[in-house]
Structure 1
Amino acid sequence: MKKTIMNLIILFAVLCIFGCNKKETNQKTQSEKMDRISVSDYGVTAKGDSIKKYTLTNKNGMKAEVINFGGIITSLTAPDREGKYEDIVLGFTKPEDYFTGNSYYFGALIGRFGNRIANAKFTLEGKTYNIDQNDGTNSLHGGKEGFHTKLWKIEAVRDAKFPTLKLTYTSADGEEGYPGKLSATVLYTLTDNNSLEIFYEATTDKATVVNLTQHSYFNLSGKFNKTVADHELQINADNFLPVNGSLIPTGEQKAVKGTPFDFTVLKPIGKDINSEDDQLKKGKGYDHNWIPNGKGLRSIAKVSHPESGRVMEVLTDEPGVQFYSGNFLDGKFDTKTGGKNEFRTGFCLETQHFPDSPNQASFPSTELKPGHKYHSKTIYKFSVKK
């Protein structure tokens, strides 16, 4: 009997030690994850709002910096072929420049509706809604006071496998003219394979339209006063959307073959950008929606910078992607690496539903109804070509 009791005591002690060690290991792993997320003061808006900067760091030393104003990515580093990490997203050198308009939408979360809506209005369930007219006669990127100007609540996700931030914002019914109270959630995750994963989710209490995206400008050279003409781009899409004079899609889906819009194989961004093409003249370069082949989460684009060796692959489950070649960058601001943010010194690959979808029945619907959930995922994956 004494032997049995002694064996049980020994077994209990072993289990306690194992359990304590496992708990300590879990706590250590959790602590290491949280150590990869730091918070610091960033600036104060004219309204007196204190803005924080959140820095995610993966095990390789790659960093992503995000502020709670506009959910803006102010910095994102990636290694070159020599292993040197450099910032590869455009942005302002002064915090206040983000707070006073950010007319370029540098690094921002875009909503409620990414891209343009013709004549700043749409009809939903028989009712016409007039939204903010901030791009000529059109509405662009959710209006002048869109999601890029809002204060997002940010918190670290403690049970995530990799450093992850959860951003939330609730848009009131009628904000910028849009119907319904929209509750939006965005996750930024920096993985150990040097990928920035972005997950979007939204719900509404009234029928509305929604099209969220991320508006970072990339320059893989890490030198923001250099053009991106030497970057090689591939877009896995056989068709794109031609636009009219105000950059609204005409409704036609046109084959890229035989046009300057054919990026089905890698080619320099600058190769055809100045050709005598009516569509390029309208956009002052590329500012169009491509229709990536396939459905679901798939690789839709790849960008390579031969000099540095940096490569960026874009994966998404969205039906469209806007390739914008930085045609409206105008040199009015200093860059983070010296010089100015001149014409075409950055490019965007904005994963999205098609522009003007609420007004074009042939396009994939952007309508969201109560009881349903909007969700989308995009991955920017970085690697090196030796």
Structure 2
Amino acid sequence: MRPIKISTFGTVKDGKEAKLYTLTNDAGMSAEFTDYGASLVRLFVPDREGRLRDVVLGYENAAGYEAGTESIGAPVGRNANRIGGASFELNGVTVSLTANQNSNNLHSGPDVYNKRFWEAAEIADDHLTFLLHSPDGDQGFPGALDMKITCTLTEKNELQFTYDAVPDADTVINMTNHSYFNLNGHDSGNILSHEVTLDADAFTLTDAYSIPTGEFMDVAGTPMDFRNGRVIGDEIDSDFEAIRLGRGYDHNWVLKNGGKFGKVAEAAAHESGIVMDVYTDLPGIQVYTSNFLDQETGKDGAVYPYRAAVCFETQYFPDAVHHENFPSSVCRAGQAYHTVTAYRFRREG
């Protein structure tokens, strides 16, 4: 590994200066993170010819992340995705959250983790650990905790995210990474030609507001079947109810990893020759084709068009706290929350 580089990344509205941390391995792959939001800013990986391409969408400086509304590159918590009715019952007590999408809560907003400064608690050549104290009542959730995210770059061209926390009261924890990937390069247009494979036989059905009904639907014979690989653009606008409701792909697939860390997804860009393998120990993955992104001003003068990227958000199922048949997102007092997700890059062929 090469020595970590630390530089300035501009200021936010209150004048506080953000830093940028760059991890680089011996193969030349690099990952850049800012302590404002603990967000992934750039990710350079080698293409078919060995040239480095930045494969994640991002902003030019901290002010861009402060103004951005699409969770680009962000760690999402305390609970990723949606909670129906913006409330739930835990231990006989009703927990009320802010309704920030219709009558529901999305990504724990509006006071989100990625609009805060995180402490760079551990800095090494191959990894960086961000720390955020989340007090009791933060975003409406019970229990205080220190959320740690360790971002590790390996010599296998793999970027790992390890999440650790121990709450002091029963609460919900469901962290994810919301990076927007375009494996042809962040400024290369849309991702409709990307081919995606998912190790999932079913997805969670939702209502018109993307809240799960509690039912699982078999993917066989539907546009949701990615088991043998499917080009994203082939049926992204098909006349299929789930597709219509999501305005494209924005759904949770039920993974078959049995709670064990393993490969669950693959994305390939045949133009660049870059392939990304996704590994996790979590039970679900939200695949989102940036259907609500359109002409977003990004870094390096880029303007990101409709469907400019695809997100692979590993997670507990959306609204898990309301469905006993879903793996539970409740973390008990004193219980260790620990989960790992990794994105491994290789060349096609």
Q: Equivalent residue for 1:63?
A: 30
Q: After the TM superposition, which residues 239-318 of structure 1 pair with which residues of structure 2 at under 5 Å, given as runs?
A: 239-295=202-258, 296-318=260-282
Q: After the TM superposition, which residues 311-350 of structure 1 pair with which residues of structure 2 at under 5 Å, given as runs?
A: 311-331=275-295, 333-336=296-299, 338-350=301-313
Q: Is the 8 A contact 2:18 2:62 kept in 1?
A: no
Gaps of 5+ in 1: 1-32
Q: CA RMSD in A?
A: 1.3
Write the deviation string for residues 10-52 of structure 1: whole angstroms up to 9, x where unpaired. xxxxxxxxxxxxxxxxxxxxxxx5x521111111111222211
| Amino acid in the other structure paired with 1:87 | D
Q: Is the 8 A contact 1:225 1:340 kept in 2?
A: no
| Amino acid in the other structure paired with 2:173 | V
| Identical amino acids, percent of aligned pairs | 39
> By how many angstroms is 1:250 displaced?
1.1
| Amino acid in the other structure paired with 1:104 | E
Q: Equivalent residue for 1:110?
A: 76
Which of structures 1 and 2 has the bigger CA Rg? 1
Q: Is the 8 A contact 1:55 1:65 kept in 2?
A: yes
**What CA distance in whole angstroms lies between the structure 2 residues aligned with 1:225 and 1:53?**
24
> By how many angstroms is 1:224 displaced?
2.4
- For these two proteins, the number of residue pairs brought into alignment is 348
Q: Equivalent residue for 2:182?
A: 219
After TM superposition, the score normalised by the length of structure 2 is 0.97
**What CA distance in whole angstroms lies between the structure 1 residues aligned with 2:297 and 2:94?**
42
State whether structure 2 residue 330 is matched by structure 1 residue 367: yes
State whether structure 2 residue 142 is matched by structure 1 residue 184: no
Q: After the TM superposition, which residues 194-209 of structure 1 pair with which residues of structure 2 at under 5 Å, given as runs?
A: 194-209=157-172
> By how many angstroms is 1:193 displaced?
0.8
> 3-state SS of the aligned residue for 1:176?
helix
Write the deviation string for residues 67-108 of structure 1: whole angstroms up to 9, x where unpaired. 0111100000111100000100001234312113x2110001
Q: Equivalent residue for 1:24?
A: none
Q: Is the 8 A contact 1:93 1:334 kept in 2?
A: no
Question: Which residue of 219, 237, 245 maps to 2:200?
Answer: 237
> By how many angstroms is 1:340 displaced?
2.1
Q: Equivalent residue for 2:19?
A: 52
Write the deviation string for residues 253-298 of structure 1: whole angstroms up to 9, x where unpaired. 1110010000001121011111101111100001100011122001
**What CA distance in whole angstroms lies between the structure 2 residues aligned with 1:267 and 1:134?**
33
| Amino acid in the other structure paired with 2:264 | I
After TM superposition, the score normalised by the length of structure 1 is 0.88
Q: After the TM superposition, which residues 69-88 of structure 1 pair with which residues of structure 2 at under 5 Å, given as runs?
A: 69-88=36-55
Q: Is the 8 A contact 1:111 1:141 kept in 2?
A: yes
> By how many angstroms is 1:157 displaced?
4.3
State whether structure 2 residue 117 is matched by structure 1 residue 175: no
**What CA distance in whole angstroms lies between the structure 1 residues aligned with 2:271 and 2:290?**
20
> 3-state SS of the aligned residue for 2:233?
coil
State whether structure 2 residue 116 is matched by structure 1 residue 150: yes
**What CA distance in whole angstroms lies between the structure 2 residues aligned with 1:272 and 1:309?**
23
> 3-state SS of the aligned residue for 1:282?
helix
Query: Which protein is richer in helix relative to its size?
Result: 1
Gaps of 5+ in 2: none
Q: Equivalent residue for 1:136?
A: 102
> 3-state SS of the aligned residue for 1:122?
strand
Q: Is the 8 A contact 1:225 1:335 kept in 2?
A: no
Question: Which residue of 49, 56, 64 maps to 1:97?
Answer: 64
> By how many angstroms is 1:365 displaced?
0.7
| Amino acid in the other structure paired with 1:328 | F
Write the deviation string for residues 109-146 of structure 1: whole angstroms up to 9, x where unpaired. 11000001111111100000111211121111111111
> 3-state SS of the aligned residue for 2:174?
coil
| Amino acid in the other structure paired with 1:320 | G
Q: Is the 8 A contact 2:75 2:175 kept in 1?
A: yes
Q: Is the 8 A contact 2:157 2:345 kept in 1?
A: yes
**What CA distance in whole angstroms lies between the structure 2 residues aligned with 1:216 and 1:108?**
6
**What CA distance in whole angstroms lies between the structure 1 residues aligned with 2:229 and 2:196?**
5
Q: Is the 8 A contact 2:36 2:62 kept in 1?
A: no
